[in-house]
Amino acid sequence: MSDPSLDDALQAFVGQSAGPATKGRYPVNEPMIGHWVEAMGDFNPVYVDDQAARAAGFPGVIAPPTMLQAWIMRGLRASLEADAARDAGVASADSPSDKVMALLDGAGFTSVVATNCDQHYERPLVPGDHLEVSSVIDAISGEKKTGLGVGHFITNRLEYRDQSGELVATMRFRILKFRPGTGASASVAAEAAAPRPQRPRPALTQDNEFFFAGAKQHKLLIQKCSSCGTLRHPPRPSCATCRSFDWEAVEASGKGTIYSFVVNHYPQVPAFDYPLVIALVELEEGTRLVANVSGITPETAAIGTAVEVAFEDFDDELSLPVFHPADETRTN
Ligand SMILES: [Zn+2]
């Protein structure tokens, strides 16, 4: 259960500085930029080639914006010394940020994970800029139930300034401090016993309703302009060829080929099986539609594969076309 006195104690820290400002160990410099872009595989010439940078309207080479945090990292040795001091119990834990952590640790929220990082850049950084960062506790959420466990989100706002005090970037960094053993893994058995969630419903409109009504009757329908006869999909109000709003539906043969496909691995929605092959099927009538393909794996899926439609009744309300390789014998 949420603890109001803990919430009050946490909220008192919002707006406070998370700790003293930190100055970057090195100024922005070309050697570090060179190593970074090679490690990241970023070959934009404005980071390494002065002429290319000038041609792009910059005063000279600039640092990749996403290098922001690199310019204030304290380095390995200082990190090891800080770790050793903490292990020896000599680290001072009196910054507001440390106190928030201690409060949450004391209430059992002992695990931590970083969840969001949003950066906003005011101007490109150039060699010679020497950054300093200060941090403010921006927000602390009430108790939330998450997949990892019950916990509180803490957002810090970090302001990066150059040697003249000008704000060059802002970063909001959010962590979740959570109570171990209270997340989804604790209820795996309960989830396994629960029925499978239904497939997401299509968003029905007066333009596309006929398509799904047809699927329920195991018919694959295509919109056809009543004026000029042009077929179209996805459904829409008017004909792109003659602008007519009059249309009718015609039944497709259900034969086609895989025009393109993707294999979806993440994010995973419980109603689907993964890896999930999703194809853009070109029907022999000429229109294309997005559909699942069964009887095919990521390894055997190929552009140009002849496919045929079948219909799957997912539940009482939803039936959808699912294609399968045409050489595969099916009874439905
Ligand atoms: Zn038309």
CA of 284 to the centre of ligand 1 (A): 19
Report pLDDT for 45.
Answer: 96
In tens, the pLDDT along 148-157 reads 889 999 999 9
Choose among 242, 253, 278, 244: nearest CA to 263.
278
Mean of pLDDT over the chain: 90
User: Smallest Cα–Cα separation from 115: which of 86, 141, 84, 95?
Assistant: 141
Would you state the structure tokens that stand for residue 58, as one six-digit string?
């910059």
**Are 279 and 291 spatial neighbours (Cβ–Cβ below 8 Å)?**
yes
Determine the distance separating the centroid of ligand 1 and the alpha carbon of 157, expressed in angstroms: 55
pLDDT digits (tens, 9 = 90+) for 31-48: 999 999 999 999 999 999
- Beta-ladder partners of 145: 150
Residue 232 Cα to ligand 1 middle (Å)? 9
Q: Does residue 7 have a pLDDT over 80? A: yes
Token code pair at residue 242? 């003659």
| Of 97, 105, 100, 99, nearest in space to 20 by CA | 97
Per-residue pLDDT at 222: 97
What pLDDT, on a 0 to 100 scale, did the predictor assign at position 328? 57
pLDDT at 332 (0 to 100): 41
* Cα 236 to ligand 1 centre (Å): 12
Q: How confident is the model at residue 245 (pLDDT cuts 50, 70, 90)?
A: very high
> What would the pLDDT profile of 263-321 be if each residue is shown by its tens digit?
988 888 888 888 889 999 999 999 999 999 988 888 999 999 999 999 999 888 999 99
Report how far ligand 1's centroid is from the alpha carbon of 288 (Å): 18
Q: By the 8 A CB rule, do 101 and 152 touch?
A: no
CA distance 219 to 288: 16
User: How far apart are the CA of 227 and the centre of ligand 1, in A?
Assistant: 5
Q: pLDDT-derived band of residue 187, with 50, 70 and 90 as boundaries?
A: low
